[in-house]
Amino acid sequence: MDTRPAAPVEARQDAVVAARIHQTPGRRLRRALAPLPWLAPAVALIAFVVLWPVWEMFQTSRQHINSYGFNLGNYGWTNYSTLFADPNLGSVMLRTVVWTLAIVAATMLISLALAQLLNRAFPGRRVVRWALIAPWAASVMMTAIVFRWMLDPNNGVINVFLHQIGVVKEFNGSQASWLGNPNDALIWMMVVAVFVSVPFATYALLAGLTSIPSEVYEAARIDGAGWWRTYRSITIPLLRPAMLVAVLINLMNVFNSFPIIWTMTGGGPDYQTSTSTVYMYSLKQFNIGESGALSVVNFGVVILIVLVFLRANRSTLKEG
């Protein structure tokens, strides 16, 4: 919201134009380059840790490299044609989409409710807020290993519990082997992924909720707005910037999520629980070129998500 009075802006612009008329090209260049010393470190950092690796990755994807890392020369687009002819690619990409969307959606819904709860004053709120950090602070790999053991078909605690309440009929059977069956394994891994993503999203939304001024709610109450109406017309719109940040960061994290799947199923059997990140890693063990091509594709997907997301939320982000 630009609340500055209009006149001084115009006056300043006049001054800039006047200054420009009196400048020689050399001085203008110097003026344009003046911020460079301050920007250079950041630019160098981005070039070094972002752009250069991207270029290297693209170069790698066009080389013929065997699994021992020996470069056997230029390969043109062969790695890409191998990748697109790969019978597993379609199902892996589809699974990646389902995986990402399902987890982000579930995370946001749960976090919205949790953030509302934690925004209310109740005895022990501080303890609950701290407890929520635990799954976030714990190593994802550790969490995934713990869940893998809890789902052990022979003596995992989840199976023991399900057996006691009569859901699982027999240990070691196909029903108890949750991680052996691709569909069940995916659902369990999504549960773990939601479990580790919820804390961050909740805190982001909680920060958004606390920043909504109470006067707005007061005004709504005076106008006689009901609970649902208040939530829809005040909470949600004012929460939008926080929600956008949470969704975007979650999308990236979940899309790139590796440790959960790798630890719990290794992407198997036969890549049937692999997302594109996990599949890329499996390929790397015997076909670096195809793996490189897939990482270029993955990078493209990430860029695409960001662009679509920024475009769809242009107005909101400007306000924020």
Contacts with other proteins, residue ranges (CB under 8 A): 38, 40-42, 44-45, 48-49, 65-70, 87, 153-154, 170-177, 179-181, 265-266, 268-272, 282, 284-288
Mark 88-122 as b/e (b = at least 16 C-beta within 10 Å). Answer: ebeebbebbeebbebbbebbbebbbebbeebeeee
CA separation for the pair 302, 294 (Å, rounded): 12
> Nearest Cα to 202, choosing from 156, 164, 255, 246?
246
Residues in the chain: 320
- Owner of token pair 């989840």: 158
Q: How far is the CB of 182 from other proteins (least distance, A)?
A: 8
Write the single-letter amino acid at 256.
N
Q: How far is the CB of 239 from other proteins (least distance, A)?
A: 29
- Which is closer to other proteins, CB of 262 or CB of 309? 262
Residues 283/294, Cβ–Cβ less than 8 Å: yes
Q: How far is the CB of 55 from other proteins (least distance, A)?
A: 15
- Which is closer to other proteins, CB of 151 or CB of 254? 151
- Which is closer to other proteins, CB of 50 or CB of 105? 50
Query: Cα 81 vs. chain centroid, distance in angstroms?
Result: 29
- Which is closer to other proteins, CB of 285 or CB of 315? 285
- Which is closer to other proteins, CB of 45 or CB of 109? 45
Q: How far is the CB of 287 from other proteins (least distance, A)?
A: 7
CA separation for the pair 22, 251 (Å, rounded): 51
Q: How far is the CB of 282 from other proteins (least distance, A)?
A: 6
The DSSP call for residue 212 is: S
- Which is closer to other proteins, CB of 180 or CB of 241? 180
CA separation for the pair 107, 198 (Å, rounded): 5
Q: Work out the angle between the directed axes of helices 182-210 and 140-150 (0-180°, nearest 10).
A: 140
Q: How far is the CB of 126 from other proteins (least distance, A)?
A: 32
